Amino acid sequence: MAQHGHLTREEKKKIRIERKKLRKDLRLKGITKRKEFEEIAQMLGLVYGDDYPRLLWLWWRFLRFLGRLGWKFWIGALVTFFAVLMPFAVIANQKGNFRVTMSDELVQNDFELSDTESFETPKMTLASKVLEEVNAYSVADLPDNLNTGSGSQNMDDVIIYNFWIRNNGEKAMDYDWYLVLNEATKNVDAATWIMLYDQNGMNIYAEAREDGTPEETNGYLEPPLYAQAASPQTQYRQDGEDSWSVITTPYAEKRIAAEGTVEQMQPGESRKYTVVIWVEGDDPDCTEDLIGGHAGYGMRFTSKGDEEEIHEKYGVENDEKGQSIQKSSNPVSDFFLKLADKAKKK
């Protein structure tokens, strides 16, 4: 145990792992409210409460420091704050992108991102090219081999982004990845479909129907992108001689579209991901009510044991049907899939 009653990093990691197991067990039993989860976790001792007194003391010291700065300082600070904020508010309403980020621990262990396979200019974050506005599109109109390029390969109404992650460190490591919904207005996310290519092939994700069953669209003469599917038998259904249905994979949670784990990525090893995002015109939720709305997505890579960070931010709390999804704290860095005024269901 650490000194002064504070938990060590390893102890906190064990607590995060146990909290994740508890969260899954409770969801299977129908317990999804954060308040109930925290009450049970506290009874089991799965909390980080020993750090609270020190944090409160540091907060008190910080407030005392701010109080000594005087009113002239605060007036100047407010003027500067609003002068900097206004340009970013305009950008947030006009532009956006799909952003890829990594946790601090992966960065410290020399993991790198790149939108080229050669890693000529490795980075810690990536962002796709901007799409200002989009119209509804159809999965049946998507071309083959969307994952053969590099970087942004956007179409008029579809985000297509290819990128790589590489372990440039000296030891093998596990990592988790999460495809997340950062922001949504006017229920645009309900009709937004996401296609993800990885080492296993292609999967299509969409929010589940109201009854919890997977969203699907019907009546295709041929199954779109069938040869590239990771699991064709579950992603498609043949309804007749010339009639196919596309069956999507429901979101893992309301704001976590998909998640996965890569074990023991070796030094020097890299993996490619391709993300495709569009508003599906054949989705029953794609109506004129969505015009003017937008949805923002991102992909987050974290080290194993940091699941709590993601579920704290994107968990099921306040995501019951009928409640709006809160905006991201940094909307400028997110991809905005904004429906154009002329958009309508096909």
CA dihedral 83, 86, 87, 90 (to 10 degrees): -170
Kindly report the average pLDDT of the chain as a whole number: 79
Q: Give the pLDDT score at 96.
A: 36
DSSP 23: H
Based on the domain organization, do 137 and 49 belong to the same domain? no
Please check whether residue 115 lies inside any domain of the structure.
Answer: yes
Distance from the Cα of residue 268 to its chain's centroid? 26
* Residue appearing with tokens 């969307």: 146
Say how far apart CA 137 and CA 140 lie, in whole Å. Answer: 9
Q: Beta strand 99-102 with 294-303: parallel, antiparallel or unpaired?
A: parallel
The tokens describing 317, both together, are 């709390």
pLDDT of residue 59: 64
Say if residue 267 is in the same domain as residue 224: yes
Question: Helix, strand, or coil here: 152?
Answer: strand
pLDDT at 336: 40
Q: Output the six-digit token pair for 21.
A: 């197991």
Do 270 and 142 share a structural domain?
yes
Say if residue 127 is in the same domain as residue 236: yes
Within 10 Å of residue 227's Cβ, how many Cβ atoms?
A: 10
181 and 37 in a single domain? The answer is no
Place of tokens 């508890």: 22
Whether residues 38 and 106 fall in one domain: no
CA distances 203 to 207, 209, 212, 227, 285, Å, are 14, 18, 19, 12, 20
Q: Is residue 82 part of a domain?
A: no
- Domain end call among 18, 47, 66: 66
Cα 126 to Cα 164: distance, rounded to the nearest angstrom: 10
pLDDT digits (tens, 9 = 90+) for 142-176: 998 899 999 999 998 899 999 999 999 999 999 99
Rounded to an integer, what distance in angstroms lies between the CA atom of residue 38 and that of residue 47?
8
Instruction: Please determine, for residue 38, whether its predicted confidence score (pLDDT) is greater than 60.
Output: yes
pLDDT attached to residue 92: 32
Do 130 and 30 lie in a common domain?
A: no
Considering the domain architecture, whether residues 157 and 234 belong to the same structural domain is answered as yes
Q: Give the residue among 243, 248, 256, 229 at the shortest CA–CA distance from 312.
A: 256
Would residue 41 count as lying in a domain? Answer: yes
Distance, C-alpha 298 to centroid of its chain = 4
Clarify whether residues 205 and 334 are in a common domain: yes
Q: Are residues 260 and 117 in the same domain?
A: yes
- Whether 72 is in a domain gets the answer no
In a domain, 87, yes or no: no
Note whether residue 81 is domain-resident: no
Pairing of strands 236-240, 243-247: antiparallel
Model confidence at 61, pLDDT cuts 50, 70, 90, reads low
What pLDDT does residue 88 have? 35
Across residues 51-68, what is the average pLDDT? 60
CA proximity to 302, closest of 100, 151, 152: 100
Domain limit, last residue, from 66, 87, 119: 66
Chain CA centroid to CA 333, Å: 12
Identify whether the C-beta of residue 343 lies closer than 8 Å to the C-beta of residue 136: yes
Quick count: other Cβ atoms within 10 Å of Cβ 29?
7
Residues 50, 169, single domain; the answer is no
**Residues of the domain holding 20:** 3-66
Q: Is pLDDT above 50 for 90?
A: no
Counting the structural domains of the chain, the total is 2
Give the lowest-confidence range in 14-23, 191-200, 223-232, 254-263. 14-23
